Structure 1
Amino acid sequence: MKKMNFKKALAGTLVLLCLGFIGCENDTPDYNQYNYYQEIPLKELSAEAKLVRDYVKADAIIAHRGSTFWAPEETEAAFRWARNMGADYLEIDLQRTKDGVLLALHDGNLRRTSNIESILPGKEDLPVSAFTLTELRALDAGSWFNVDVPENARESFKNQKICTLEEVLKFAQGYRIKRDGNGEPVKLNDGPDWSGIYEMEIDPLDSGNRPGIYAETKEPYLFGGMEQDLADFLSEKGWNINSPSTLNIAPSGDEGKVAYTNGRFILQSFSRESIVKLEQTLPGVPKCMLLWLDESAGYVRPGNTLESLAEFINFSVENNCHIAGPSIAGKPNKYDDLSEPWMNEMYHRAGMIVHAYSFDTEDQLRKYNGDYFYGGESRFDNPDRQVSGDFNYVVNKNMFIDGGFTNLTDLSLKYYNRGEGKTAQEVLNELGY
C-alpha cells in the first residue's frame, strides 16, 4: 500500500465526517447536512459480478505483506507466520524479474529491504526487473528488519530470501522451503546453471490454515504483459478459477478452506490500466480497486471532490471491481480517511464490499466496524447489538467495512473472536524462528 497525502476536504460545503468520538457521542455530526451525497447517481455491479463478489471470504482478515511488524515483510517467515496465525488471505505485491519470474516484493528497488548495497554495489537503485532470480537470491532480505524493528528482532530472520509467487502459493497450501543441516535453503537442480529455485517440502509445523492470496499488480509500464503472465501462471499452478481442468482440488480435510474456494485469489491495483487488463485476462476473478488520491488520471481518483469519488466507483463497476480498497486514518501510517461512513455507504450502494487498509490498532478496528455507534460494543461480541445514542440519520451496516488489511493478524483475530488465542510470539516460536 502507498503512503497518502490527502487533504481532508470535499469541494463546496461538504466536510468529511469524523468518527473519532470515543465516549463523546454528542460530538457526532448531523448526517442530514451531508445527505445530498445520496443523490449522486452511481452505477451498480451486475448480478453476475455480485456472484463473483460473494466468492470472497466474509469478514476477511488480510495479512498485509504477511506482516510488516512481526517479521521481515513478504518473506517466508512473514507468510508462514500469517498462515499459522490464521489469516484469511496473504497479501502480496507482484513484480517480475529480468528472467520472467513473478515475485512478492513491494518497493521499486531493493535498497530498503535487502543488503544489495554490499552485495551488488552501485545497483541498489535499479528496479527488480534489472535482476535475474539467481541474482536476487544472493541477497539477505531479513537482516534489515532486525535493525528497523529491534523490539521484534530474531537471529533466524537473518538471510531470509525474497519470495517467488509460486512459493507464496505453496506456503498457503501448507509447504515451506526445504533447508539443509545448516539452515540454508536447498537449491533445486544445484549447479553452475542454478536458476534460483529452491526445493519445497510439506511443512511439519503447518497449522492447517489454508489462506487465499490477495495480489497487487503494479503500474503496467513497469512490467508489460504481467497480467497475461499472471493468468497463465495461475492456470499452470491450479489457482485460476477460469481454468477448471487445471484447478487444484482440495485434499481431504481442506474442503471449504479459502485456498480451495472460488475466492482463492483476489486481484488488486491502484492502476486503472492494470485493472482493465486484469478484467481481460482474468474475468470472473474477484478484484479490488485500491483508492488513492493523485492528480494523474492514471491513478484512481484525480481530485478530491464528491463527483470524483462517484467517478471512481463508476469506473470500478464498469470494470467489474467487486471490492473498494480505501485507506483509514490513525497511527502509525497516518493515512487520510477514505473510509468515512458516507463513503462506505457509497461503495456499498454500488454493490461493492469494502476492504480498508491498514489496521494496526484496536481503536481502528472498533472505529471502522462502527462500535462507537453502539456504545463501544462489537458486532463480533454481539451480532444483535443496538444503536446507542440519538442520531438524525439511520445508522446501518453499510456505513462500515467488510474486512481489512492488517500488519497484525493476531490483533484482528482477537477482535473478531477468532483463532486459538496464541500470541504472535508463540506462533513464531512454534515455527522455529
Structure 2
Amino acid sequence: MKFPSKRRAGAVVAVLSGVVLALSSTSAQAATDGPDVIAHRGSSGMAPENTAAAIDLAVRQRADHVEIDVQRTKDGKLVNFHDCTMERTTDVEDLYPGRPSYRVSDFTWNELRRLDAGSWFHDDYAGERIITLDTVIRHLQHTRTGLLAEISPCGQYGTTIATDLADNLNGKPGYVGKALARRQLAVQSFETDDARTFHDLMPDIPIGILDADRPTDTELVELSQWADQINPQHTVTDQTLVDRIHQLGMTTNVWTVDEPGAIRKMTTLGVDGIITDYPQTLTQR
C-alpha cells in the first residue's frame, strides 16, 4: 500500500525493513506506477462479498489489497461483515426466525458460523460462511495481497470496535511487522473518532478517513495532522482534491469504482488506490 511521503508511516517501515530508500514514495511515483488495486470486500463482483471465496479470488487476480469490514459478535469475536444486519446476504431469518434483531452484534460466533453467506449471490456458493478477521489474515499473510480493514460504522459499537481491532492486531506482532514492511496493512473508517482512537493505540499502522462527501479544505488540513489517507467516494473526487491531499502529505484511495470510464478517470487523476468490486478489470487476471 502506498504510504504518504510525510511522516511516521515511512519511518516505521524503514525500521522494520532496514531499507529506507525503498519505502519513500512520492505522488509522482504513485502516478507513474499506477494506482493500487483494492478488492472491495474481496472480489465481490464475482463472488459473495467478504467471504473466503471472494478474498481468495482477489488474491488469484493479484489484487494489491483486499478491503474488508470489521464487526464484533455478541461474545467478542471480530468478524468480516459489512451490513449492520444480516438479512441481505445470509439466511439468518430462516435459521433464526423471530429474533428481535438481526444485527451481527446480537449473535454469538457459534450462531453466526452456521449461516449461509453465499447462496444469495449464486447457488455455486451455497454454504459459504461468515469468516473471522483471524481467518482473513490467515488467507492473506503468505500472499502478495495486503489488507485494508474498515472499522464498522454501525452505531452499536461506539469507539470500542476500534479498540478491539487494535487489541487483535497487537496480538499479532509478527504479522503486523511483516505487513508494514511490505506496505500491506492499513485501517480506515467513516467515523473520525474511531479512526483517531485506533491511531492513538497503533500509530504505526496507516489510518484512512472515508468520506462520501467532498471534504472541506479545513477538514483536510486538520486531518493531515494525524491521518495518512483520505479515501473519498470517486464521484466527489477531482484533480483539485487529489492534488490537495498529496500536497498535505497524504494519499488517497477512491471508492467504489467499477465502470471502465470512471477507472480511467481516477487513474488519470493520479489517485493512489482504486477500491473496486472487479479487481480483475485493473489487473487483467
Q: TM-score, normalised by structure 2?
A: 0.84
Letter in 2 for 1:317: S
Q: Of residues 159, 162, 182 in structure 2, which corresponds to 1:227? A: 162
Give the Å deviation of 1:327: 1.1
Could you say which residue in structure 1 is the equivalent of 2:173?
Answer: 238
Could you say which residue in structure 2 is the equivalent of 1:268?
Answer: 188
Matching of residues 221-370 of structure 1 within 5 Å: 221-224=155-158, 225-238=160-173, 241=176, 247=177, 259=179, 261-293=181-213, 309-318=216-225, 320-328=226-234, 337-370=235-268
State how many pairs are aligned. Answer: 265
C-alpha distance in 2 between matches for 1:124 and 1:82: 35
Cα distance, 1:363–1:221 mapped onto 2, change above 3 Å: closer
RMSD between aligned residues: 2.5
C-alpha distance in 1 between matches for 2:155 and 2:5: 29
Letter in 2 for 1:290: L
Give the Å deviation of 1:348: 1.4
Letter in 2 for 1:235: N
Structure number having the greater helix percentage: 2
C-alpha distance in 1 between matches for 2:237 and 2:275: 13
C-alpha distance in 1 between matches for 2:201 and 2:223: 16
Could you say which residue in structure 2 is the equivalent of 1:331?
Answer: none
Contact 1:361 1:411 survives alignment (8 Å): no
Cα distance, 1:47–1:171 mapped onto 2, change above 3 Å: closer
Secondary structure (helix, strand or coil) at the match of 1:364 reads helix
C-alpha distance in 1 between matches for 2:7 and 2:44: 37
Does 1:48 pair with 2:8? yes
Could you say which residue in structure 2 is the equivalent of 1:61?
Answer: 37
Secondary structure (helix, strand or coil) at the match of 1:266 reads strand
Could you say which residue in structure 1 is the equivalent of 2:270?
Answer: 400
Give the Å deviation of 1:126: 2.6
1:130-179 residue CA offsets vs partner (Å, 9 max, x unmatched): 10000001111000112xxxxxxx52x001000100000011035xxxxx
C-alpha distance in 2 between matches for 1:55 and 1:105: 34
C-alpha distance in 1 between matches for 2:133 and 2:24: 22
Contact 1:111 1:125 survives alignment (8 Å): no
C-alpha distance in 2 between matches for 1:75 and 1:118: 20
Question: 5+ residue gaps in structure 2?
Answer: 14-22
Letter in 1 for 2:183: G
Cα distance, 1:124–1:52 mapped onto 2, change above 3 Å: farther
Give the Å deviation of 1:277: 0.1
Could you say which residue in structure 1 is the equivalent of 2:17?
Answer: none
Cα distance, 1:171–1:128 mapped onto 2, change above 3 Å: same
Cα distance, 1:104–1:344 mapped onto 2, change above 3 Å: same
Letter in 2 for 1:407: D
Does 1:81 pair with 2:57? yes
Secondary structure (helix, strand or coil) at the match of 2:121 reads helix
Give the Å deviation of 1:314: 1.9
Matching of residues 172-187 of structure 1 within 5 Å: 172-174=140-142
Give the Å deviation of 1:345: 1.4
Secondary structure (helix, strand or coil) at the match of 2:209 reads strand
Which of structure 1's runs of 4+ aligned residues deviate more than 4 A? 49-58
Give the Å deviation of 1:362: 2.0
Question: Which protein has the larger Cα radius of gyration, Structure 1 or Structure 2?
Answer: 1
Could you say which residue in structure 1 is the equivalent of 2:134?
Answer: 166
Could you say which residue in structure 2 is the equivalent of 1:183?
Answer: none
Question: 5+ residue gaps in structure 1?
Answer: 1-43, 147-153, 175-208, 242-246, 249-258, 294-303, 329-336, 371-398, 415-421, 423-433
C-alpha distance in 2 between matches for 1:346 and 1:260: 25
Q: TM-score, normalised by structure 1?
A: 0.57
Contact 1:216 1:268 survives alignment (8 Å): yes
C-alpha distance in 2 between matches for 1:122 and 1:281: 39
Cα distance, 1:45–1:261 mapped onto 2, change above 3 Å: closer
C-alpha distance in 2 between matches for 1:164 and 1:69: 21
Contact 2:58 2:279 survives alignment (8 Å): yes
Give the Å deviation of 1:280: 0.9
Percent pairwise identity: 31
Contact 2:180 2:205 survives alignment (8 Å): no
Contact 1:116 1:124 survives alignment (8 Å): no
Q: Which has the higher contact order (CA 8 A, sep 6+)?
A: 2
- Larger displacement relative to structure 2 (111-120 or 165-174): 165-174
Contact 1:354 1:402 survives alignment (8 Å): yes
Could you say which residue in structure 1 is the equivalent of 2:121?
Answer: 145
Does 1:126 pair with 2:33? no
